[in-house]
Chains A and B, each alone.
Chain A
């Protein structure tokens, strides 16, 4: 029963709410017997109660609800008409249900009151017999109820009538007997119906009065009832509260900052008090949005059982820390990734029983889930004692799938190799099963977790098992962040990506920062740390380290890669409230949002991942530019629509159609030049042209043509026309890139329509022709060119 506790409480809260509604609905229904929607709503409520109590094993309650439901379904289907008798009986049923719920709440049992009378009455009504206790009324058949319903319509007098005889109900024992007394006078049953809802606690039968009262007394002394101890609150309201608390935190920060310069001791004490209160309030409001992780874990035993049985494995699921709470939005966000990982562990991690026994392990595999709080974060671990991940297998697979080159793979250590499972389009399963491994595996998991500011780590030992560890922040709205300055502006760096701070003194700067082809690096405890200048990334002029100046390096982690961000000054860590940027600025990847600082001014929050990508420091094996570009040709073997065309020396080339904005024809005379660049006027804009044949060094065939055919490629509102000789066709094909041609500007070759076709790297070519195309502003062109050169 204890385990059922929370479920029963939830059931009680919900049912009480529904019952209150039911009282109103029934009375209203009596006044408007034709109102189908009311009936439907009443029916649903009773049906829900019936269903839930059947599940919870409350048979008495179920039987009452069941007959009530039958009666209602007849009403709903129009087989019967509402009349005061039925209304009375239904209200009596509602009261009975309420009583039983009260008993359940107080001592978890349905109580020993006998409701067979009520059930009988309901059943009879259901059979259309009307109530046998009022034979005179039933003799008149269906006309009587109609007649009786008429006086029922004006509600006001009923109410006053009912209230004037409150004692009646209590004394006049069973409700079913009531109509008997009532029938001689037509108003009597009406009076009765008005009375019932007026006093919901009124006992239905005299016999029930005692246990109910007993129950009431116990409740009051024992603990708060289910309805009193919890209320339902709109999530929107909670969000609003959370926002307000966020504002309060900001104001608090502001005041605390003022207070540091104050000497008035009472002001300082008040500030401290405010500080404390705000923190507590923040914590409290955050708690209202917390849910135990058990809410998503609860379905895993079933998932694991079904899954392991269907593939013939034996898996034991262990869960620890079910009560660990985290923000509702985070719970939602990790639901799918977690489920995916659990399935993965069962499907790929744990071996078949005979394999396990052969390896000297218990035939039953253990999958353990663990959740706990640590340092303001929630850690979730998913461990299995399965086969683990073989770095060699990963290496082979990754090379096969073109995720890395063999040369690169040779240089990677085991840890790096294992991390390749997070690469897009990677699936280790020998055969792709229908359970997991659809090619959208761990990379999606990682992306989802990173989206909520989390991190995922993997540790695996071949033959021993795999351990996945997810670290996620408690909440998203308020995060600790480090504030730095750059060219007079302040920027916040979320603490989650922060590893350490390094300061190089004046005299050491020059010797410690070394250059590799113009790219600065720093030796951090023997490892090379690529340096990124924030000022440079933000498009300011200059910013390189000058002689005789100390350097502040913020060591950051992005995507398992470390890099050092060189900033002007490091200020302080502070709790900041993340606010979204307007649509106009969303496209800038360097920022993840903005916040309001202690002095009321706005500061931008840096997106560490975005910065790293912008600075090309995460051009690692898994996420290199080339890999993402190759992704466009989707290595997972799905069919792709390709635009096939001919260029330079009649060689066949193709680009994915998804990259093509439009196909256009221009007259050769329309070409103008701007500097050295050929351009055409296109849709009120000036569009640069890139001749593929120039790029691949073929003869200028297209020059002879009157009309030029161009593939218009569009990115961030800017167009580029790629001039080709001839558009051949649009085909849908499986694309398998055979690399190794090594030709510049191509991603490789493939067989399309039975002919060898080069897959063109459009982005690469555009970048080559116009290095500034992907840069945001004109000042950035230089920068982009410099970065390109440095690569």
Chain B
């Protein structure tokens, strides 16, 4: 384990989230996708990524946030997970940050579900907190009833 880790950051309703850069395959702008009837509401659709069909998951829905405005175009963060490649829909993309390990802390105990299960840890950056997502849990997250 190195002392510094790199995270690809993105924003969801003002919160700053991060995913380990090594898990991120690519980031691209909103692309039209094919809706999948009967699928759980968290799944927005299927995207053709250069011949590979990937599932797009709306992180807002996963985290039980309100849907974004209709004209707000989400961004795709394509991550590799043990369950295959999926695209996470987020509000906006931030920088790739290199953060020292000593700023790491466990997620606070009073964090509410479902965020509680999805956040692996918190980095105390200047002026904001960086919440590290557990992508494996995100893709396996049961559908909120």
Contact = CB atoms under 8 A, between A and B. Distances in A.
Contacts of B39: 584-585, 588, 776
Contacts of A591: 36
Contacts of A247: 51
Interface in B98-145: 113, 139, 142-143, 145
Contacts of A685: 145
Q: Chain A's interface: helix, strand, loop or mixed, by majority?
A: mixed
A600 B45 CA distance: 15
B77 interface: no
A601 interface: yes
B71 interface: no
B35 interface: yes
B33 A602 contact: yes
A777 B48 contact: no
A747 interface: no
A596 B37 CA distance: 17
A717 B142 contact: yes
Given A584-B40, A585-B43, A596-B53, A602 B34 contact: yes
A247 B49 CA distance: 12
A688 to B, nearest CB: 11
B83 A582 contact: yes
Interface in B15-73: 32-41, 43, 45-48, 51-55, 57
B86 interface: yes
Contact of A596 (B41, B51, B57, B86): B51
B53 A602 contact: yes
Contacts of B55: 581-582, 584-585
B48 A686 contact: no
A603 B47 CA distance: 10
B111 to A, nearest CB: 14
Given A489-B37, A539-B37, A717-B143, A584 B57 contact: yes
Given A583-B139, A584-B86, A602-B34, A777 B145 contact: no
Contact of A602 (B37, B47, B86, B113): B47
B14 interface: no
Contact of B34 (A539, A603, A717, A777): A603
Interface string A560-583: 000000000000000000010111
A588 B143 CA distance: 13
Interface residues of A, number: 32
Contacts of A776: 38-40
Nearest to B46: A602
A777 B61 CA distance: 15
A584 B139 contact: yes
Contacts of B47: 602
A439 to B, nearest CB: 35
A604 interface: yes
A721 to B, nearest CB: 15
Interface centre among A540, A588, A602, A717 (most CB of B within 10 A): A602
A583 B38 contact: no
A17 B36 CA distance: 51
A487 B142 CA distance: 27
Contacts of A250: 51
Contact of B38 (A582, A595, A603, A777): A777
B48 A602 contact: yes
Given A489-B35, A585-B36, A777 B41 contact: yes
Nearest to A248: B51
Contacts of B139: 583-584
Which one of B34, B47, B142, B145 has the highest number of Cβ atoms from chain A below 10 Å of its Cβ?
Answer: B34
Contact of B36 (A588, A600, A780): A588
Contacts of B48: 596, 600-602
A242 B38 CA distance: 31
User: Chain B CB within 10 Å — which of A247, A582, A585 has the most?
Assistant: A582
Given A583-B84, A584-B139, A601-B48, A686 B38 contact: no
A585 B55 CA distance: 8
Nearest to B85: A582
A579 B45 CA distance: 15
A604 B36 contact: yes
A590 interface: yes
A777 B43 CA distance: 12
Contacts of A584: 39-40, 43, 55, 57, 83, 86, 139
A606 to B, nearest CB: 11
A684 B113 contact: yes
B61 to A, nearest CB: 12
A230 B138 CA distance: 49
B50 to A, nearest CB: 9
A325 B41 CA distance: 45
A588 B36 CA distance: 10
A538 interface: yes
Interface core residue of B36, B55, B83, B143 (most chain A CB under 10 Å): B36
B55 to A, nearest CB: 4
25 contacts: A247-B51, A489-B37, A539-B38, A579-B53, A581-B46, A581-B55, A582-B54, A582-B84, A584-B40, A584-B55, A585-B36, A590-B38, A594-B34, A595-B53, A601-B32, A601-B48, A602-B53, A603-B34, A604-B36, A717-B142, A776-B38, A776-B39, A777-B38, A777-B40, A777-B41
Given A585-B43, A596-B51, A601-B48, 15 more contacts: A247-B51, A487-B37, A538-B37, A539-B37, A539-B38, A582-B55, A583-B84, A584-B43, A585-B39, A588-B36, A590-B37, A591-B36, A594-B34, A602-B33, A717-B142
Closest 5 CB pairs of A and B: A538-B37, A582-B55, A602-B34, A602-B46, A583-B83
